[in-house]
Amino acid sequence: MCLHPMVALAPDSVVRSVVSSAAHFAALKDPRVERTNAHDLQNILVMAICTSICGANDWEAVAEFGRSKQAWFATFLALPNGIPSHDTCGRVFRVLDPAQFQSCFRNWMRAVSPLIGGQVVAIDGKQLRRSHDKGLGQAAIYMVSAWATANRLVLSQRKVAEKSNEVTASPELLQALDVRGCLVTMDALGCQTEMARLIVAQDADYLLALKANPGQLFDDGVVLFADLVASD
């Protein structure tokens, strides 16, 4: 597998960002039994993050990337037992608390790529391809994400609970973010009074799509914009 050599892009800035990630993930609880910790949790997290940045998406790639860049990792990580295997990485991530991990990741993103006033934050829901399992009766996973358009990164994600939809998950996602001064956009499904109030309460502006099916609301919107155009 050929992975992008991230250290060739901007070594100093990459190292600073990676070291920053280790600091922000320090609060993440290690669920493993201490005697089985041959590899430090921070090392596994850092290698997984770097590999993901390079576009890989499986544990074999994480281990391969670690081995190929071991000399580079050794400049800022202590590796007394070398590079963890792909099985070790997979086992660790299976037992991590996802809520804790997301909180640490969100704090890291805020530190390395802060939101700027006026920036667009797009909230949208997508079904994850091939995440279903008909044999086990498992429905496809539906995720709601907050995308910072200028930073070009996902600020946070939230899984939509079964028998629910993104109307319920989006407010929970939004409340976990600091969007002061930003413009929050959503499609017509998010065109809800409570959603607009929540965005305004967080000192942000909103741009919500409006379809014709709400009836009077759509008609009022047409009249409003027609008056604005005529007044210019």
Query: For residues 150 and 90, what is the distance between their CA atoms, to the nearest angstrom?
Result: 32
Mean pLDDT of 85-112: 86
Q: Are 156 and 167 in contact, with CB atoms under 8 Å apart?
A: no
In sequence order, the β-bridge partners of residue 125 are: 144
pLDDT digits (tens, 9 = 90+) for 30-63: 988 776 688 999 889 988 988 887 777 789 999 9
* β-bridge pairing 142-148 and 205-208: unpaired
For the whole prediction, is pTM greater than 0.75? no
Domains of the chain (ranges, CATH numbers): 6-110 (no CATH), 114-231 (3.30.420)
Q: Which residue has the tokens 């741009």?
A: 207
The DSSP bridge partners found for residue 123 are: 146
* pLDDT class of 131 with cuts at 50, 70, 90: low
Q: How far is CA 224 from CA 86, 156, 163, 229, in A?
A: 59, 34, 36, 9
pLDDT of 12 above 70: no
Q: How far apart are CA 179 and CA 80, in angstroms?
A: 42
Locate 65 and state its tokens: 């990337």
